[in-house]
Amino acid sequence: MKRNVVLQLTGIERHYGQGETVLSILKGADFSLHRGEIVALVAPSGTGKSTLLHVAGLLEHPDAGDVTINGNPCNGLSDERRTAIRRNEIGFVYQFHHLLPEFSAIENIMMPQLIAGLPWKEARQRASQLLDYMRIGHRGEHRPTELSGGEQQRVAIARAVANAPLVLFADEPTGNLDPETAHYVFDALEALVRQSGLAALIATHNHDLAARMDRRVTISDGKVVEF
């Protein structure tokens, strides 16, 4: 059965600098991501992995090309509309968890839901379910400093999917963890993606984890290439 395309990048260009100092990172990059699949983005540092994720996730504007999410073109949208799409349809996970230190694990997961307008009781129920799914339900009332690195990252993953996004972007989500913990965290991430049916693009240097994903792509001369 043909899966729906939830993310389409067409002819994406991204440049930094001016005049003779212009650095071209993306040069007409094309990429599509389908519902329910996990794609590994494996490329050396400095080739544009984070730039691609930021453009695709509407954190940066491309200098040329089109970004389409769930069939809706995103070029030319107001900042308010782009923010709404990021909040409701996109989830982000980074190498460092970026949890709010003054809040507990469950409160961190509730936060994006409350911002989106979900009632407190429903947000807490959803957060509790995600903590249980990530096998850290017993750590819900602990603050980030009281959690291990792997637990912090699982909370960050749960927070990223709290609003049931269509697509999840992860930038080296296990890069700050030891190999055993990295595999454990990826197991939880993969299970959550498979169960929810969302699409995920994961940048990683870990070739063992990349081999477990549905496809692997890299960035070569500013373009996205499958290998």
CATH code (residue 124): 3.40.50.300
Reported pTM: 0.91
Q: Using CA of residue 196, residue 156, residue 111, residue 131, what is the dihedral sign?
A: positive
DSSP reduced 3-state for 216: strand
Query: What's the N-to-C CA distance of the chain in angstroms?
Result: 23
DSSP reduced 3-state for 8: strand
In a domain, 93, yes or no: yes
Cα 90 to Cα 55: distance, rounded to the nearest angstrom: 12
In a domain, 174, yes or no: yes
Residue range 69-81, pLDDT digits in tens: 999 999 889 999 9
DSSP reduced 3-state for 200: strand
In a domain, 154, yes or no: yes
In a domain, 166, yes or no: yes
In a domain, 12, yes or no: no
Cα 115 to Cα 38: distance, rounded to the nearest angstrom: 27
* pLDDT score of 45: 84
Number of domains, the chain: 1
- pLDDT level of residue 3 (50, 70, 90 thresholds): low
In a domain, 197, yes or no: yes
**23, 17 in Cβ contact below 8 A?**
yes
Cα 212 to Cα 216: distance, rounded to the nearest angstrom: 9
**59, 68 in Cβ contact below 8 A?**
no
In a domain, 70, yes or no: no
Q: Please give the average per-residue pLDDT across 182-200, as a whole number.
A: 87
The parent domain of residue 183 ranges over 38-49+78-226
Q: Determine the angle formed by the axes of helices 149-160 and 179-196, rounding to 10 degrees.
A: 20
In a domain, 89, yes or no: yes
